[in-house]
Amino acid sequence: MSSLSESTPASAPGKVILLGEHAVVYGQPAIAFPVSTLRTRVTIRDAAQLRVTSAIWDRTYQIADAAMHADPVYSVLSLTAEALGVPIPIRHYNIESDIPAASGLGSGAALSAALGRAVAAAAGLNLDPAVLNSVVFEVERLYHGTPSGIDNTVVVYEKPVYFVRGHPIQLLHVQAEYTFVVADTGIRAPTRESVADVRALMVTQPAATTRAVSAIGDLVARTRDALAVGDVTAVGRCMNLNHTLLQQLTVSSPELDRLVQVATDAGALGAKLSGGGRGGNMIALVNPETTSTIEMALRAAGAVHTFVTVLRAGMETAT
Domains in the chain with CATH codes? 10-163 (3.30.230.10), 173-312 (3.30.70.890)
Q: Which of 172, 140, 183, 159 is nearest to 273 (CA)?
A: 183
Q: For residue 69, what pLDDT band results from cuts at 50, 70 and 90?
A: low
- The pTM of the full predicted model, rounded to 2 decimals, is 0.84
Confirm whether 58 is a catalytic residue: no
Which of the following is catalytic: 46, 65, 71, 151? 151
Q: How far is CA 35 from the centre of its chain?
A: 9
In tens, the pLDDT along 232-243 reads: 999 999 999 999
Q: Which of 46, 44, 52 is nearest to 73 (CA)?
A: 52
pLDDT reading at 266 higher than 90? yes
Ranges 10-14, 99-103, 314-318, most confident: 10-14
What number of CA atoms fall less than 13 Å from residue 272's CA on the CB side?
Answer: 27
* 87-to-60, 76, 77, 81 alpha-carbon distances in Å: 16, 13, 9, 6
Q: For residue 68, what pLDDT band results from cuts at 50, 70 and 90?
A: low
Q: How far apart are CA 127 and CA 232, in angstroms?
A: 38
The strand pairing partners of 305, in sequence order, are 184
Ranges 165-174, 188-197, 300-309, most confident: 300-309
What number of CA atoms fall less than 13 Å from residue 223's CA on the CB side?
Answer: 29
